[in-house]
Structure 1
Amino acid sequence: MRDQLDELYRPQIEQYGITLEETGDALAGAISDDRSRACVVVYRLEGLCAVTSHRIEVRREMEFHERSVPGLCVCTLSADSLALCPVAQPRRAAGAGNVAVFGHVDEPQQCKLRAGQVHDAVSVTFLPAWFSRLEERERRSAWELIEEPGSACDEDLAHMLDRCLRALTPLFGGRLLDGASVLRGAEGAARAAIAWFEERSRAERAAGTREQARLVRAAERLVAMRMDEMLTLDELARALLTSRTRLCAVFRQETGESLGAYIRRSKMERARQLLERGGLSVSEVARGVGYPRVSSFTVAFERAFGVPPSAIGE
């Protein structure tokens, strides 16, 4: 039987060629080569949880494969890492301190890391075995949260959880801790995320918008995960097992914005982030947001921001 905690970090770390060594109650490793400069600290906690932190500066483009197991994840991320995270993307991601909560699924993921990207992250992932330590109400909420489309947290909660998660690792201002201290901190973060989810769910049920809100979050998540495709509304509706008419109507009702406008805006805002960060050509950015023709991308960008993409970052 495979080691589930291993699946949360080891296959990913091995892609960088990093060898982990024991350092107190943690595993740590680093590498610097032509592909990346990276350092990693991992805690394995009582067969219940893995806390992984990494700082990765990508030096050349590389394919990245990720494997996972079912579980509940709370993480704080740089903007580049958030863009790869399976959650609905915020309107404007911060350079760091973006906190996301989502359920892991037992299926492989693949993405492309590009030169110049910075992937900073601290992730707490609890396996379902941990849920037995929760009270019945929290346990039900944890399972419901895993089945929800992932979300980026609002500013107040994000600030608190970012501070909590960074304190667990020496990579981001904390220090190496013993396993018991890490577990207490990780459990505190997960319980705070569950409480936030419960409050949001109560508000949506009281307003009678629970199912609509879930559908909107699922649509936003799928748009984020397929940013490099020219995703049509029909394809999006089929993937979400609903009709285009219902999806578009619910999305406008919940957000005040049409789904088509949301997709276009999300692509342009992501393109602007990539251009501002530098390191990519306009054609590379265009492909990264699903525009195979630079001319079409340039027209869309100028329409959105009033300037050509070549003017950003100058």
Structure 2
Amino acid sequence: MNQTFIQDFFILALTDSHDLKIIIFCTILIIYLLALGGNVVIILISFLDTSLHMPMYFFLRNLSFLDICYTSTTMPKMLQLLLAERKLISFSGCVVQMYTFIALVGTECVLLAVMSYDRFLAVCNPLRYSTLMNEQNCCILAGISWFAGLVNSVVHTFFTFRLHFCNSNTINYFYCDIPPMLSISCDDTSINERLLLCIGVFIGWTPFLCIIISYVYIIVTIVKMKSTEGRHRAFSTCSSHLTVVILYFGSVLFSYVRPTSSYSMAKDRIISVLYSVVCPMLNPVIYTLKNQDVKKALDKQFIHRQ
């Protein structure tokens, strides 16, 4: 049986216990609502408060929008499948879900690198910051991030769904993604593995290394600052972004940039929860708790107005 005859994929159940299903359903629903609410607040506050009309918060709005799309691509379907008797996703639905998800993964990788470049200029080259990070350049950099993610996804989705899935049509995962799709294919997946490794260098490792290099320069510059207040402010702003980077890239690079022979769906789907569920929920919390500007804006817009 090949892909031309497969109309649906079965998503393997998380548990057979009804009570445990309800607990998992409620947990995922709460996480989803928190992720949506937190990211919507970040978008609204950065629009409403004029003090946040800066490049850093323009990119943060893009990140929050990405996280809303992220969670909405996978979690509603996860919730529906948890309670469904037949845990099915159509072939076309699987294609759309994977394309959208991989596009968002690639976009966020590049966008986090762009955000580190923004912090690098702000800390290490403040005199040229307003010139280099003007509105036009910010839009171009954000556009490049989205374009890179979309192109990356076109390639992976095309080469994944040209495979024959004759081993099984049961996906041992939470959603349609590259590793579980390759694991159920009866074709030679070496081309797909090479694509993951090669493109992963450009969409994964290159942005990650750029971030590391940027932060080496940032840390050196901060340490040399004479003002204790300035040093503390720079550290608090940059530490938020660095925390997000470590959480996100650690899980993404582990999931995609390695050979399929090392895949273990039972373990890998736990890792996938980190960047597809936990990170979108934590991003607003991390940026809010460690960012004094956002705290002041929240206080001014939502607390003092009441």
Same fold (TM over 0.5): no
TM-score range, shorter chain: under 0.3
TM-score normalised over the length of structure 1: 0.25
TM-score normalised over the length of structure 2: 0.26
The structure carrying a bigger strand percent of its residues is: 1
Higher RCO structure, 1 or 2 (CA under 8 Å, sep 6+): 2
The structure carrying a bigger helix percent of its residues is: 2
**Structure with larger Rg:** 2
